[in-house]
Structure 1
């Protein structure tokens, strides 16, 4: 999937979104720490934000997760600009076919170029192509940049999750 010139500022280079392959593993793993590129809530450890996702990615590469779909965005020079990881699963409340966006991470220096939007569009197309009627995702309340993107592309907050740390 290539984003048309009309959807991108004229000064920006084209963004190409494609299926990720085994050769992308190291580059994708290197982008995952970007999931913690905001002020983390108290008691949160950055590595915890991507540990499960790294394991999911490795399982996908090993052929163990056919429900998992990974898309990468790259620039004209082939440099990886971002990654999205989507899993197909029933919607938790209705049981309807759905998908969950596990990861949306944009490489440092590639922010504000439409990479996140391009990856969102690509993963939504994958979900729809597999019969999903919705896509869900989780985002920290104070991750304002991510929340703004999700809202711009049509996502709405539905459930609020509360936490109380019992070791205080």
Structure 2
């Protein structure tokens, strides 16, 4: 079951922060800096609850929290049409390999269609091969590649 997150879920959501950098990061991106940046962004959105920000919790049949997802309604840079951006998505390690990430992605797709979005987008680090493999298997393709040159 997927439900809207509540303030009681904040601890569960924040428990994923370390996992979001548990792979090879790009050169010039120290793990502690990236981890704290992610934590700061999640806390900001959880505390402010902007109107374009939507948090969801995935529970199993026993009511245990298995994963979460943070969706944002944003305007496309090029078309200026509404997009739905998957800002964060995580599945608890004890619940991996059970199709939960696919369930969350399907929910994001449904949410985006209900909100008449032109596209569903997400960002993924190049070193996060497991996530990239999942997204590609689910029909995702590359739209823009952000390049960086550390100075």
With normalisation by structure 1, the TM-score equals 0.80
CA deviations 1:57-89 (Å, max 9, x no partner) are 2222xxxx1111111111233222111101001
CA deviations 1:111-145 (Å, max 9, x no partner) are 21111111111122112111112111111112111
Which residue of 1 is the match for residue 141 of structure 2?
156
Q: Which has the larger radius of gyration?
A: 1
Q: Which runs of 4+ in 1 moved over 3 A?
A: none
Greater helix share, 1 or 2? 2
- Deviation of 1:49 after TM superposition, in Å, equals 3.4
- Deviation of 1:99 after TM superposition, in Å, equals 1.2
Matched residues, number = 147
Contact persistence 1:33–1:47 (CA under 8 A): no
Where does the alignment leave 5 or more consecutive residues of structure 2 unmatched? none
Alignment partner of 2:104 out of 77, 99, 119? 119
Task: Give the match's secondary structure for 1:72.
Answer: strand
With normalisation by structure 2, the TM-score equals 0.88
Which residue of 2 is the match for residue 20 of structure 1?
5
Which residue of 2 is the match for residue 146 of structure 1?
131
Where does the alignment leave 5 or more consecutive residues of structure 1 unmatched? 1-15
